Each structure stands twice: as structure tokens, then as C-alpha cells.
Structure 1
Amino acid sequence: MDQNTYSPGLHKLVTLQVDEVDLLTNSNIFIDFSEKIIQDFELEKVGIITHNFGNNSFTIAICLKESHICIHTWPEFKQLTLDVYLCNYLQDNTQKVKSITNEFVTFFKAIVLKDFEINR
């Protein structure tokens, strides 16, 4: 691949409105769904860090061999931020990033408030 045309990967950043507060306060539900996504899209998990806050919001970083999936929830505002980034080291993962993000939007039954794509 030509060094001048190589794109390291797509990084999607979304802010979602989620009316089902249980989905914003139960980190285990998110982890279980993410494990399914990782398997379905044939990704390789390297590690996961979870922090649950006093108001039951949570932040989770899933480190992947291909890069990462991160979430931060704000149940008091019925919102979350999610970012999905996969590198293109061995293949173009652009469509995979978009599909994974859409899977999460569907899972949360969310309204997309902000949607950014950064081509690295």
C-alpha cells in the first residue's frame, strides 16, 4: 500500500440519547453485548477496564488488538458517549466501524445527537 494513501483507520464518536435508564446504569449489560459484538465482528479483546460511579453511571474501555471501544454514561441526562476505532493494519475496517457503531445505537434504542467520523 502506498504510504501517501494509507489511512490508519476510522474513528467514530457518537453522543446518544437513551430513554431506558437501565441501559445507562447497568455496566454488565453493556459488557455482555460488547462481548457479542467482539465475537460477531471477529475482533480480539486485549483487556477491559470498568469503573462504576456512585450514581450508577459507568465508564468502560475495551482494548482490542485492532484498537478500542469506549463508553461513558450520564443517566441523569439520558445520554452516553461512545467511540469506536479500528485500525486498518491488515484490512480496511471502515465499514466494520460503522456497522459496530450502528449495532450499539440499535442496542440502546438511541437517538443520535452527535456523530463524528475521523479518518486517522
Structure 2
Amino acid sequence: MQSLGRHVLAELYGCKFEVLNDINRVEDIMVNAALEAGAEIREFVFHKFSPQGVSGVVVISESHLAIHTWPELGYAAVDVFTCGEKVDPWDACKYLESMFGANQMKASEVKRGIIALEDQRLVVNY
């Protein structure tokens, strides 16, 4: 069985308020996380909420990185989805944990697009 991609869902706790609430810093950290993982960036968009919080996505050739922050709670929800063998989503997550100053990261990986070849037919398992 082979998968098309790896999707890491990460929860970062104890992050610095001033970092999570700064759209420019969040954008810079997310873009650099993609580069740290070896991804090729296509485009990115981020939005600052009032009174606080940032959401954004970095589109990469290999899929995407996305974030939503709750600065008042020191919390960020992140997902890093990569396809192919070249990019390691865990490298991006470790970078994010460090740069956001998290004191804890809970993360899990889901294999996406599990494909089996049976009788020369392509079968996708859901």
C-alpha cells in the first residue's frame, strides 16, 4: 500500500502571545517552515482578526500549510499536508514549535490517498 501524501495535524500550546498575534511574524514563520521542510512555495495569504488572531495558508507545490491562532490562549492549530517523498512535514512542525515558542506540541500524522493496485485496477480506499 502506498500513500499519496502525509498530513500532520499539530496543536501548539504555550506559544508567545506577541508572536501569534502578529500577522507579519506568523506569515514569515509559516513561509520559512515550508522552506525548512524542503517545499516549493507557490503563494500565501494571511488574515489578521480583531481583536486578535491570525489565519493563513501557504500553498506549496507539494500541497499546503495552514494555521489559525488564538493568541489569548497561547494556542495555534496547524496542518501540514505534503505529497511525494522530498518534503518532510515533521520538519515544518518542529520549526513552528520552536519559532512560536511552544512549550508543548501534540501532533499526529495521517496517510492521505492510500492506494492499492488490485488486478491492475486502481482502487482508492476511503
CA–CA separation in structure 1 for the residues paired with 2:46 and 2:95? 21
Q: Is the 8 A contact 1:14 1:112 kept in 2?
A: no
Structure 2 residue corresponding to 1:31, chosen from 15, 23, 27 = 27
In structure 2, how many angstroms separate the alpha carbons of the residues matched to 1:77 and 1:41? 27
1:10 maps to 6
Deviation at 1:17, TM superposition (A): 1.0
Tell me how far apart the structure 1 counterparts of residues 40 and 89 of structure 2 sit (CA, whole Å): 14
Q: Which runs of 5+ in 2 are unaligned?
A: 113-126
Letter in 1 for 2:63: S
Is 1:66 aligned to residue 66 of structure 2?
no
Q: Distance in 1 between matches of 2:77 and 2:42?
A: 22
How many residue pairs get aligned? The number is 112
Aligned match of 2:101 in 94, 102, 109?
109
Q: CA RMSD in A?
A: 1.7
TM-score, normalised by the number of residues in structure 2: 0.78
1:99 & 1:39 partners in 2: Cα distance? 10
Higher Cα radius of gyration? 2
Normalised TM-score (structure 1)? 0.82
The aligned amino acid for 1:81 is A
Percent identical among aligned pairs is 25
Distance in 2 between residues matched to 1:111 and 1:67, nearest whole Å: 27
Instruction: Spell out the pairing of 1:18-97 with structure 2 (5 A cutoff).
Output: 18-88=14-84, 91=85, 93=87, 96-97=88-89
Moved over 4 A (4+): none
What is the rounded CA distance, in whole Å, between the counterparts of 2:19 and 2:97 in structure 1? 12
2:33·2:92 contact (CA, 8 Å) conserved in 1? yes
Deviation at 1:55, TM superposition (A): 1.5
